[in-house]
Amino acid sequence: MDTNKPTAAGVPQGVLTAALEVVSEALTRLRFGAINLVVHDGKVVQIDVTEKKRLND
């Protein structure tokens, strides 16, 4: 597969795959929190992961 070939949104497949890998990894280790994707011109330019720590009483 050509990783430089653009998807329907014009994003290179390699960039999309890398973003999905980061999100997938964050989801597997995140117990409480949020994942925020920042998109400019149809491209993911930033991924923020906010993790919440729960303390037991």
**Number of H helices and number of E strands within the chain?**
1, 2
Q: How confident is the model at residue 4 (pLDDT cuts 50, 70, 90)?
A: low
The backbone torsions φ and ψ at residue 4, rounded to the nearest 5 degrees and listed phi first, read -95, -5
pLDDT 10s digits, 31-54 = 999 999 998 887 888 999 999 988
Checking if the pLDDT of 9 tops 70, the result is no
What values do phi and psi take at 28, rounded to 5?
Answer: -70, -30
Q: Is residue 24 predicted with pLDDT exceeding 60?
A: yes
Instruction: Locate 2 and state its tokens.
Output: 């050509």
